[in-house]
């Protein structure tokens, strides 16, 4: 009973924060600079806060329809997360076009590698190919996002990129990926026992809640990057800040 109350509290807390992040982006006028984040948060709320509960209510938690819908939408969210990380990489390489060209090739290669590994998995599993592929592809893509997000954070630190907002956004999504990866690893190591299933049910939403809290702080408190705050057309002012 207490677990159910805690789980419900996490769910409603996530819904509230998703709407709050969306409203903060609108209020602070950061649509143009954080379009990827806005689209991802919107997709997260529509899928997790509206579509999945509706299908769950209509068909029940043990139905095949809900199972298929859950994993199909999980692929949608995984693709959204991957594209969001690509947007973060683009922002980190805003002043290094050559680095961005190389990074873009790495991102394309990583995505194709995930597709290839997921397809290779099907050669050993011929039962229910659709469900097998979407679950395998979703999990592999989330793992790739975790690795890419870690590399992005290291790149921000190594290049000393002066963008506190980007650093916080990357840390937030890192919390989400790290939590899910740890849950899935523990789930597989324990052969999906009851404790692992309960942990996966609670830790996943808790990580999402942590991610949204960090993003809320980033939008409200983190200063805008100097180049964006001054405007790219004000070369003299920007040069003065850089020289200082």
Domain chopping of the chain, boundaries: 2-243
Helix axes 194-221, 164-189, angle to 10 degrees: 180
State the average pLDDT over residues 125-133: 68
Q: Measuring CA to CA, which residue among 179, 161, 181, 173 is closest to residue 213?
A: 173
pLDDT at 7: 76
CATH class of the structural domain 2-243: mainly alpha
Q: Which long-range contacts (CB under 8 A, 24 or more apart) does 112-121 make?
A: 113/144, 114/140, 114/141, 114/144
What pLDDT, in 10s, does the model give residues 34-79? 889 999 999 999 998 899 999 999 998 888 889 889 889 999 999 9
Q: Which of 2-6, 154-158, 202-206 has the lowest mean pLDDT?
A: 2-6
Nearest to 22 by CA among 49, 46, 42: 42
Q: pTM for the whole thing?
A: 0.83
pLDDT at 172: 93
Rounded CA gap, 138 and 240, in Å? 47
């Amino acid at each position: 009973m207490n677990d159910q109350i805690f789980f419900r509290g996490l769910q409603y807390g996530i819904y509230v924060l998703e709407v709050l992040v969306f409203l903060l982006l609108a209020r602070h006028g950061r649509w143009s600079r954080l379009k990827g984040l806005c689209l991802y948060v919107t997709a997260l709320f529509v899928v997790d806060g509206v579509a999945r509960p509706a299908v769950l209510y209509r068909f029940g938690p043990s139905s095949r329809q809900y199972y298929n819908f859950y994993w199909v939408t999980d692929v949608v969210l995984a693709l959204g997360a991957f594209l969001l990380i690509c947007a973060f990489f683009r922002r980190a390489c805003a002043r290094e076009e050559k680095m961005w060209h190389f990074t873009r090739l790495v991102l394309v290669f990583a995505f194709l590698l995930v597709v290839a590994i997921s397809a290779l998995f099907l050669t050993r599993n011929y039962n229910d190919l659709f469900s097998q592929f979407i679950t395998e592809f979703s999990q592999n893509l989330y793992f790739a996002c975790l690795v890419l997000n870690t590399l992005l954070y290291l790149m921000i630190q190594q290049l000393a990129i002066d963008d506190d907002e980007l650093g916080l956004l990357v840390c937030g999504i890192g919390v989400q990926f790290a939590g899910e990866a740890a849950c899935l690893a523990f789930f597989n190591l324990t052969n999906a026992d009851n404790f692992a299933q309960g942990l996966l049910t609670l830790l996943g939403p808790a990580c999402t809640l942590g991610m949204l809290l960090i993003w809320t702080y980033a939008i409200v408190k983190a200063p805008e990057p100097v180049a964006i705050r001054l405007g790219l057309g004000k070369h003299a002012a920007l040069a003065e800040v850089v020289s200082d």
